[in-house]
Amino acid sequence: MQESAASPATAAMARVWLHRLTPLSPFALVAVIASVEAVTPDWLRLGPVLAAASVLAAAICGLGVTAAVAATTLGVNALLDLFGGRWGSSASQIINIALLAVGLASLLACSIRQRRERELTQVRSVAETAQRTLIRPLPARLDSVLLEGTYIAAESEARIGGDFYEVLHTPHGVRLLIGDVRGKGLPAVDASAALLGAFREAAHHEPCLADVARWLEGSAHRNIRRLYGEEFTERFATALLVEIPEGPVARLVHCGHPHPLAIRDGDVHGWEAPEPGPPIGLAELVEGGPSVQTVPFRGGDRLLLFTDGVIEARDGAGRFYPLPERMARWSEDPLDQLVDQVRADLRRHAGGDLDDDAALLAIERLPL
């Protein structure tokens, strides 16, 4: 336990020291090159190599440090030429001109890099705000239900995508939605926003969970076709709706989505729908409508909802992520630790970034 507690502190300390030492690295490079130059024969000139320090500073330091490094390279080269008796020679002048040119180019490159970093910071800020609006932070508890969720974008620099989830406290109990819009990019984000908006409205007004799913279907036809500009049969969304009333049960409506995993007393099993419904947007292609499945959900039981980005993540050998096996291993852990472990383990399994967005929502019923 002490090692696990000390590890994050050690890593944080290492990052602080790395941040402090970064501006010194170009000066250290200048010192190394100058030391080697001082002991080498006159025919072996290392003065031009000093330009590497300016380039390094432009890549990792600010504008002020880059200017200081460029000036230092010129000064150090001048001192080396003075002590070596080369000052004023044509070779010395050419090297100084080259160092000056590289220094000015490094200043320009550093300025461009810093401007782009500021733009990227602004974009990230907007994306994080959009994520908080689209996928709002979950409360730790609603009534007798504990909640924990996570979202993993496929791209490491991304914040939002086509996966979504929501949890609401309604007159009909706690209601949850998790889904995945087919497609990527801003249209998928817009489609997710449309479906989440429809769920937030319908979950409070419709007493039957199947009618909430029908409301989502109507939203799909009104909004997502417009967003994609094509027949929605090519652009659909899978979804799973869950309702947790006061009694020891849960109600599920499957809309083409992966079935959830139930955890009870360390045992992990899936709640597969006897009659799963079609994905949102494809209901007109099949007969009938969404049906409600009632399953036992007593105190201490857990339910894990996820998108296909979790179970379809592959390792280097092409093997899918074994979510049920991992759940059996961590079934007794606190809910927040369980979700954190799945998130970290999923990234390790995929070797870093995922090929698809992934969302995970874990719920636990407290003793009634």
Distance CA 285, CA 5 (A): 54
- What pLDDT is attached to residue 338? 93
**Coil/strand/helix, residue 60:** helix
Answer whether 312's CB lies under 8 Å from 356's CB: yes
Residues for the chain: how many in total? 368
Tokens 């380039």 correspond to 55
CATH architecture of 136-365: 4-Layer Sandwich (3.60)
287 vs 282, more confident: 282
Confidence of residue 193 (pLDDT cuts 50, 70, 90): confident
Cα of 292 vs its chain's centroid, Å: 33
- What pLDDT is attached to residue 83? 77
pLDDT for 274 beyond 90:
no
116 vs 156, more confident: 116
Strands 249-255 and 145-152: unpaired
Q: For residue 235, which amino acid is it?
A: R
- What pLDDT is attached to residue 3? 38
The highest-confidence range among 19-33, 233-247, 250-264, 284-298, by mean pLDDT, is 250-264
Kindly report which listed range (21-35, 117-131, 190-204) carries the lowest average pLDDT score: 117-131
- What pLDDT is attached to residue 323? 93
Tokens 């000052």 correspond to 87
The highest-confidence range among 6-20, 33-47, 273-287, by mean pLDDT, is 273-287
Task: State the Cα angle at 107 between 102 and 113, rounded to 5°.
Answer: 120
pLDDT digits (tens, 9 = 90+) for 75-108: 988 888 887 777 778 878 888 899 999 999 999 9
Answer whether 289's CB lies under 8 Å from 356's CB: no
Q: For residue 99, which amino acid is it?
A: L
163 vs 9, more confident: 163
| Nearest residue to 50 (alpha-carbon basis) of 82, 20, 22, 78 | 78
- What pLDDT is attached to residue 316? 87
Mean pLDDT of the chain: 83
Cα of 109 vs its chain's centroid, Å: 29
- What pLDDT is attached to residue 155? 59
**Average pLDDT rounded to a whole number, residues 323-343:** 92
- What pLDDT is attached to residue 189? 77
105 vs 224, more confident: 105
Cα–Cα distances in angstroms (integers) from residue 245 to residues 241, 255, 295, in the given order: 13, 20, 12
| Nearest residue to 123 (alpha-carbon basis) of 154, 164, 161, 157 | 157
Confidence of residue 301 (pLDDT cuts 50, 70, 90): very high
- What pLDDT is attached to residue 272? 87
287 vs 358, more confident: 358
Answer whether 343's CB lies under 8 Å from 150's CB: yes
Tokens 């300016």 correspond to 54
Answer whether 237's CB lies under 8 Å from 281's CB: yes
Sequence ranges of the chain with CATH classification 3.60.40.10? 136-365
- What pLDDT is attached to residue 54? 92
Strands 358-365 and 145-152: antiparallel
pLDDT for 351 beyond 80:
yes
**Coil/strand/helix, residue 295:** strand
Task: State the Cα angle at 302 between 300 and 303, rounded to 5°.
Answer: 155
**Coil/strand/helix, residue 156:** coil
**Average pLDDT rounded to a whole number, residues 332-355:** 90
Confidence of residue 2 (pLDDT cuts 50, 70, 90): very low
pLDDT digits (tens, 9 = 90+) for 132-171: 667 788 899 998 999 999 988 765 555 566 789 999 999 9
Bridge partners of residue 264, in order along the sequence: 267
The two structure tokens encoding residue 11: 């890593």
Confidence of residue 6 (pLDDT cuts 50, 70, 90): very low
b/e per residue 287-300 (b: at least 16 CB within 10 A): eeebbbbeeebeee
Cα of 248 vs its chain's centroid, Å: 35
- What pLDDT is attached to residue 71? 93
pLDDT for 219 beyond 70:
yes
The two structure tokens encoding residue 4: 């696990």
Task: State the Cα angle at 94 between 88 and 99, rounded to 5°.
Answer: 110
Distance CA 278, CA 299 (A): 31
Answer whether 244's CB lies under 8 Å from 297's CB: yes
